[in-house]
Homo-oligomer: A and B are copies of this chain.
């Protein structure tokens, strides 16, 4: 079977199940269901506070085959996933499915659990490092399921991803499970991605290293949703949780691309009062924010909101009055955490509010401009941020496909050639985000506009910007760097890439060399 993007995908994938093929960005709006939840009510006088993760596991009767969820706001400083899985492994439990919103190099111990059968399934929105490599090598018994951030919220809320136990790394919690991420030595800011887990998992455990007297303040996740609270010495390594600062690129090529992207936004007519904007934390993406900042200041423009994972750079734009509000699902650096704690206009949002297509309107729907990265782009504007050019998993959609689908103008910024490899190609190794939702690709060698955006094309053609076609970009890239070696893959599917609506947009097969 081929889906509408011409990706070869079986009807049925062993260890995943029946495939619903991707059928277009807006194919699956309509009647949706938020799932029912069973819980045990807690009466006055009951105690939720337990003394160790071991005690929690005993109390919860963790069994073979369960799905255990984690959120990734502690990023590469997270101790909770490893500590919980260590205790689970110690009990001889097998066949666990780990549903972590993202997986980082620190989670390397999972590799051993994949090898010895403690972990046989992974559901995640992003993974990099040893776990991603091990999945690519086929160490996981079932294909990893790779979702988008909004898709994860959708899957959890709809019941497609049923979580037996959610462990919530809580930088601050009281003894009744009121949680926030703004205080404590492991402060990470917004806890947006943990919200669906808390609301829909069968059992919810808050793990904190900063147990405060009742009630915690502010409250990001409420006691209504939490079964147990456990105090540990440390939930994470602050150095890995947030970088001290996120910085704009100094690379002249990156800066040139950023200028061109800002020009596209401007000429397309989106740089105006009330505008909304999102960009990633990468150096070039941040450079686009810097270009936008200049324009907004020069013209006294005030935007409505910036959103997404939030950096100090964007927080500064809030402080400067360039945006009225921020919507924050995850803080990328210390300045963002501080801003989220201190400035009420720096508002939190859940992963569902951010990007779930199955609710009554996500924040991405209100986005004017989205700046996106890419590992590869194909001539149909399909983007890969899941696998490297050698076919190894090194990322995942995160909010990429969600924001691309929602925003009025989705701009991919990328060098045309990276590490001697062409980035614009005939076909991408893996489709993460469908070209249908990408409007413009900006490279240092030219700007390609998606032909379906005739309106944009007309405006941009009249400008001084170096407008070209995606085919020309591909040809230029190939002239510089060659076509790139044709990768060979086995038939072994190591990961299933779900679009935000739960359809399968692509699969990742095990590379042959």
Contact = CB atoms under 8 A, between A and B. Distances in A.
Interface string A388-403: 0000000000000000
A38 interface: yes
Nearest to A501: B41
A355 to B, nearest CB: 11
A215 B327 contact: yes
Contacts of A366: 176, 214-215
B36 A32 contact: no
B304 A361 contact: no
Contact of A361 (B37, B224, B349): B224
A438 to B, nearest CB: 14
A40 B34 CA distance: 11
Interface stretch (A14-22, A23-31, A233-241): A23-31
Contacts of A494: none
Which residue among A31, A40, A43, A213 has the maximum number of chain B CB atoms within 10 Å of its CB?
Answer: A43
Interface in A185-228: 204, 213-215, 217-219, 222-227
Interface string A345-388: 10101101100111111111110000000000000000000000
A213 B360 contact: no
Interface in A121-148: none
A120 B32 CA distance: 31
A361 B214 contact: no
A405 B44 CA distance: 8
Contacts of A37: 33-34
B213 A347 contact: no
A180 B274 CA distance: 20
Interface string A293-331: 000000000001100000000000000000011010000
A48 interface: yes
B215 A347 contact: yes
A177 interface: yes
Nearest to A359: B224
A15 B443 CA distance: 69
A41 B36 contact: no
A30 B41 contact: yes
Contacts of A44: 364-365, 405-408
A41 B347 contact: no
A42 interface: yes
A325 B217 contact: yes
A13 interface: no
Given A36-B36, A359-B42, A360-B177, A304 B31 contact: no
A252 interface: no
B40 A353 contact: no
Contacts of A363: 223
Contacts of A41: 29-32, 357-360
Contacts of A43: 26, 29, 357, 365
Given A176-B361, A226-B360, A361-B176, A31 B39 contact: yes
A386 to B, nearest CB: 23
B344 A218 contact: yes
Contacts of A352: 224
Contact of A305 (B36, B214, B274, B407): B214
A46 interface: yes
Q: Give 4 nearest A-B pairs by CB, closest first.
A: A42-B361, A44-B365, A36-B36, A224-B359
Interface of A: 26, 29-46, 48, 176-177, 204, 213-215, 217-219, 222-227, 274, 304-305, 324-325, 327, 344-345, 347, 349-350, 352-353, 356-366, 405-408
17 contacts: A30-B40, A33-B38, A33-B39, A41-B357, A42-B365, A176-B366, A214-B304, A215-B324, A215-B347, A217-B344, A217-B347, A218-B347, A222-B353, A223-B363, A224-B350, A224-B359, A226-B361
